[in-house]
Amino acid sequence: MPTTMRAVRITRHGGPDVLTEAEVTVPALAAGEVLIRVSAVALNNTDLWTREGAYGRPGDPQARSGWRGPIEFPRIQGADVAGRVVSVGPGVDASLVGRRVVVDPAIYDADGPDANPVGLMGSERDGGYAEYVTAPARQVHDMTESPLADDQLAALPTAYGTALGMIERGRLRAGETVLVSGASGGVGLALVQIARARGARVLAISSGEKIDAVRGAGAHDVVDRAQDVVEQVRAIAPEGIDVGLDVVAGDLVGEGLPLLRDGGRWVIAGALGGYQVAFDVRRLYLHNAQLIGSAMHSPAHFELLMDLARRGEIAPVIAATFPLHQAADAQEELARRQHVGKIVLVP
C-alpha cells in the first residue's frame, strides 16, 4: 500500500487556475471508515461553486444558506466517487475489501433514512480528485454486481441522487405526465431517465442541438426552450401535466404552474433561470397544487438509487472522460455547458 498519492487540490477560491496537482499523503483511516482506490470521479456544478466560493464563503451573497462553510484549504474536490475498497478502519466489516462501491457524498444533519444534506464530500471533506479517498462505511454502497461501468457509477451520486429526491418528493407515479426542465444537464437527463423507468410519460425542455440526445435518453416528447414553452406543452399535453421537475426556476415557475392538473406538484431543485419567482398564488390553493423544494437526496433516496443501478434500470450518459491531471480542462468543459451527459475524471 503506497503512503503517498496523486491528487488535484484547491488552496484558495478562484477559477480553474487554482487547481493544482500535488503528491500528498494517503489519508489515514478513522474508526468506521473505509479507504477507496478511486476508479472514476464525476464532475458537478458543485465543483465549480465550491472552487469559486459559493458554498459558505464569508460575505458572499451567493453563499448557500445553511451550508457548513467556509471550507478549509487545501481541499481535494470531487463528490461523486466510484472505486474499490482497499482497506477498512476499526469497526468495519473486512469483507468490504475488494468490493466495487459508490459513495453517498452527502454530509447529513442527523442519522436516519430521512436526514437532510448539509454538506458535501469535496467541499466540507476531501473528495475524489485523487487516487484514494476515505468515506464513512455507512455511506458506502456495494455495487459489485451492477452491470454499469465505473464511469457510469461515478455519474450517479449528486445528479441522479438529486433527481431521485425530486421524483420521490413529487410522488411521481407510473402513468402520470411529467415535465422536465433543463433536460440536457446532469440532473435534467437523470430526471428523464428515472421518470421514464418509473413508467411516466416524460415531456422535456431542451435546446435545439441537444433535443435528439434528450429524446434518446428516454423523453417521449421534447420542446425547444427557444420557442414558447407553454404553447408547445399545451399542444403536446392539452390535458395538462401531473408533475413539474424544475432545475431552472425563474420565469418558468409562474408560466408553468398553470400547466398543472388539479392536485399537481411542481418540484424545484435549481435556479439556472433566476432566483426570484412570481406567480398567482390562487393557482395553488384553488387547484390543490403544491410547490415543493428539494435539495439533493436523503439516505433512503440514495438507497433506492443504488437499487436501480444494481438492476441496470438506468444507464448514465458519459459525455467525456479526462485524466486526473486535466481536472482544470474538465471543469472548463463543464462550465461551457455544451455537452450532454456527465464529464468524468479517471485517476
Q: How confident is the model at residue 330 (pLDDT cuts 50, 70, 90)?
A: very high
pLDDT over 70, % of the chain = 95
The pLDDT assigned to 70 comes to 58
Between 118 and 144, name the one with better pLDDT.
144
Separation between Cα atoms, residue 289 and residue 242, nearest integer Å: 10
Q: How confident is the model at residue 121 (pLDDT cuts 50, 70, 90)?
A: very high
Would you say residue 291 has pLDDT above 90?
yes
Cell of 283: 393557482
Amino acid making up residue 175:
G
The pLDDT assigned to 54 comes to 72
State the residue for C-alpha cell 503528491: 23
Identify the CA nearest to 96 among candidates 38, 35, 147: 35
Would you say residue 58 has pLDDT above 70?
no
Average pLDDT over residues 253-260: 98
Q: Residue by residue, what is the 3-state secondary structure of the chain?
A: CCCEEEEEEECCCCCHHHEEEEEEECCCCCCCEEEEEEEEEECCHHHHHHHHCCCCCCCCCCCCCCCCCCCCCCEECCCEEEEEEEEECCCCCHHHCCCEEEECCEEECCCCCCCCEEEEECCCECCCCECEEEEEHHHEEECCCCCCCHHHHHCHHHHHHHHHHHHHHCCCCCCCEEEECCCCCHHHHHHHHHHHHCCCEEEEEECHHHHHHHHHCCCCEEEECCCCHHHHHHHHCCCCEEEEEECCCCHHHHHHHHHEEEEEEEEECCCCCCCCCCCCCHHHHCCCCEEEECCCCCHHHHHHHHHHHHCCCCCCCEEEEEEHHHHHHHHHHHHHCCCCCEEEEEC
Contact 243, 176 (CB under 8 A): yes
Average pLDDT along the chain: 94
Contact 46, 52 (CB under 8 A): no
Average pLDDT over residues 124-147: 97
Average pLDDT over residues 281-288: 97
Between 119 and 32, name the one with better pLDDT.
32
Strands 33-42 and 75-76: unpaired
pLDDT tens-digit series, residues 172-193: 999 999 999 999 999 999 999 9
For residues 76-108, one letter each, b for 16 or more C-beta atoms within 10 angstroms of the residue's C-beta and e for the rest, the string is bbbbbbbbbbebbbeebeeebeebbbbbbbbbb
Separation between Cα atoms, residue 316 and residue 318, nearest integer Å: 6
Would you say residue 36 has pLDDT above 90?
yes
The pLDDT assigned to 72 comes to 87
pLDDT tens-digit series, residues 260-278: 999 999 999 999 899 999 9
Identify the CA nearest to 7 among candidates 107, 75, 87, 55: 75
pLDDT tens-digit series, residues 197-239: 999 999 999 998 899 999 999 999 999 999 999 999 999 999 9
Q: How confident is the model at residue 343 (pLDDT cuts 50, 70, 90)?
A: very high
Average pLDDT over residues 137-163: 98
pLDDT tens-digit series, residues 208-217: 889 999 999 9
- Quick count: other Cβ atoms within 10 Å of Cβ 339? 18
The pLDDT assigned to 59 comes to 45
pLDDT over 90, % of the chain = 91
Phi, psi of 174 (to 5 degrees): -60, 140
Separation between Cα atoms, residue 8 and residue 226, nearest integer Å: 38
Would you say residue 128 has pLDDT above 80?
yes
Contact 36, 84 (CB under 8 A): yes
Cell of 141: 454502497
The pLDDT assigned to 65 comes to 45
